[in-house]
Amino acid sequence: MRLFIALVPPAEILEDLKNVQAEMAGGQTRPSASAQAGWDRQTGTLLVRRSPWKASGPEQLHLTLQFLGDDINLHRKEEIRKKLQEVGPRHVPFEIKPAGMGAFPSPARASVVWAGVQGAGLEGLAQDLASALSSLGIRRDKPFSPHITLLRSKIPQSAQEMMKPMAGRAWSEKNWVAGEFVLFESHAALGGREHIQVQKYPLGGDGEK
């Protein structure tokens, strides 16, 4: 099974993220010619395909702290669940502030468009999780870069026009307080993936929420 650890924004922040998705869709241009067009060999008609961008659903709008792996068995899952109980009490709730927009690997050739966030406690929590999990032989697969994924494309595309409405400003004026992190289990589902909350770990708490 696939497991990851994330922070879940509150409902009012999720609403702002959905509004940003809609605003970017309004500034969206057609894909590059190589990605948008194809020929029907029987009729000789040029076919224009749908946009390659897929918006993250509400259940996918989370801030991943660490990806743990794709092939985790039940015994390993239980080890992870217990280890994470040690982390929450070492931290206190902290404020998260929306930041600017970005794209991976770059806006000119993007596969992912994301909403950035900032928070004094984010890096410390992520580092503590990485350290705790390293004792189980689990290593970070990439450097921590706090963000919430808004759109994905299987075909790299320019996202520059689409991101223009959000240029030079934060995607929301609302801050929120992170009071817990969540261990998620993820399964393949029709049209994407289904994320199931395994356990919530309160910051400053006992991890038994």
DSSP secondary structure letter of residue 6: E
pLDDT at 31: 47
> Using one digit for the tens of pLDDT, what is the confidence trace for 23-44?
887 655 444 444 444 545 554 4
On whether residue 112 sits in a domain, the answer given is yes
Q: Which domain holds residue 148?
A: 2-28+39-202
Shortest CA distance to 127 belongs to which of 144, 141, 142? 144
Q: Please tell me the least confidently modeled range out of 7-11, 32-36, 49-53, 80-84.
A: 32-36
Across 33-42, 55-64, 184-193, least confident range: 33-42
> How many independent structural domains does the chain possess?
1
Q: What pTM does this model have?
A: 0.85
In a domain, 158, yes or no: yes
Alpha helices, H only, the chain: 11-26, 33-36, 74-84, 122-134, 160-163
User: Which candidate, 198, 205, 202, places its Cα nearest to that of 68?
Assistant: 198
Q: Which domain CATH number covers 134?
A: 3.90.1140.10
Residue 33 within any structural domain of the chain: no
Q: How confident is the model at residue 87 (pLDDT cuts 50, 70, 90)?
A: very high
User: What is the per-residue pLDDT for 29?
Assistant: 46
**Any domain includes 124:** yes
User: Does pLDDT of 102 surpass 50?
Assistant: yes
Active-site residue, selected from the candidate residues 91, 147, 187, 195 = 147
Q: Is the pLDDT of residue 106 over 60?
A: yes
Q: Is residue 129 part of a domain?
A: yes
In a domain, 79, yes or no: yes
Looking at residue 205, its pLDDT comes to 63
Q: What is the pLDDT of residues 153-182, one digit of tens each?
A: 999 999 999 898 888 899 999 999 999 999
pLDDT, residue 82, reads 96
pLDDT of residue 13: 98
Q: Residue 209: inside a domain, yes or no?
A: no
The verdict on residue 208 lying in a domain is no
What size, in residues, is the chain?
Answer: 209
Which residues, listed in sequence order, are joined to residue 195 by a DSSP beta bridge?
A: 186
187 noted as active-site residue: no
Mean pLDDT of the residues in the chain = 88
Known catalytic membership, residue 147: yes
